[in-house]
A = this chain, B = another copy of it.
Amino acid sequence: MSPRSSPVTQARIAALANCSQNTVALALQGSTRISAKRRAQIERLAAKLGYRPSMAASGLRRGRSGLIGLYGRLDIIRTLLATELMVRLHGPSQKPILGLELEGVRPWHTGAWVDTLLALRVEAVVSFAWNDEPTVPPWASRTPVIFTGYDPDPRSVCDFVAMDRAGAVRMGVDYLVSQGHRRIQMLRYYPGKRIADAFEQAVRSHGLEPSIFPYKPGEDHEAILSRFLDQFRTADAPTAVFVLPTGFACELHAAAIRRAVRVPGDLTILAYDLTPALDSLRIPITTLDQPVVELAENAAAAVARRLQTPGAPPMHVTLGFRLNVRQ
């Protein structure tokens, strides 16, 4: 392997082209103040040498890094979100930098990666660490924060691209009722307080009595599912179940098959969370899908708007879920 050479700079091109570094800079900006001939020569040289402007140097000089920080966790849904965000934020004069949240640091902005993003002088931070509250960090007046996927906080001065979780639950319950279900139960293995509240309210709005299947904290999934399925020995078992999250609903589906409870014949399963694999596996679970693409689109737009008009009033957008019927 040849000895490492240092990166190509404008000065190096200038030396080869017999002109000043400044002329190279202008030529590469496409300035018409430089003669077409010289420009062509310099462009050819730059291409041949594989010149790439240093973002550090240009960012330092211009006072803006051209970087946008993303911060969140790479679970299934947020990997999709992060990918969509990175595609949308990656342009000629702007690059996304992904920082990972690993173990749900609280408050979110104290994560080590957030420090890194600030050391890189990102011009805005898109946070999708939505297992946490949308705590506004002290530096938010210097580096704006766009909260994506959090529950909206109307008091906050930051931008919000939110998902209507309660509305999603309502949509799910409405769907089940419209399909004739009257005994609808909710099943999960962790509190899921907000969703549970929304579930109760939605069921009551149809004049029905909500039922939330109890679990003991720490009880393993199999045990909960076994107790849940025991209900099907009696006549008043639920005809539909709202499960949180979809991964658990898949486990329920598998357990139901083993216990000869037919899905959807005996039990209709509706679950909260997008899980792309269901389609190829032909698992008949209807899901409430997070609007991942729309979240990314709106967050990218919010970034652009915030950079363009730093003083604009905080933007609050709330996006609906998609009911993804599978049977």
* Residues of A near any B CB (own CB < 8 A): 1-7, 50, 52-57, 59-60, 63, 65, 74, 79, 82-83, 86-87, 90, 95, 97-98, 100, 102, 112-113, 115-116, 118-121, 138-139, 141-142, 144, 157, 221, 247, 250-251, 254-255, 257, 277, 280-283, 310-311, 314
Contacts and interface: CB of A to CB of B under 8 A. Distances in A.
Contact of A63 (B6, B50, B97, B314): B6
B63 A56 contact: no
Contacts of A1: 141, 157, 310-311, 314
A280 B97 contact: no
Contact of A113 (B90, B121, B250, B255): B90
Nearest to A113: B90
Contact of A74 (B59, B79, B250): B79
Contact of A56 (B90, B98, B121, B280): B121
A258 to B, nearest CB: 8
B50 A60 contact: no
Contacts of A97: 97
B311 A282 contact: no
A250 B119 contact: no
Given A3-B311, A277-B247, A116 B95 contact: yes
B113 A4 contact: no
Given A100-B86, A247-B277, A56 B120 contact: yes
Contacts of A102: 83, 87
Oligomeric state, in copies: 2
A100 B121 contact: no
Contact of A250 (B6, B95, B141, B281): B281
A281 B257 contact: no
B83 A74 contact: yes
A314 to B, nearest CB: 7
B60 A60 contact: yes
Contacts of A100: 83, 86-87, 90
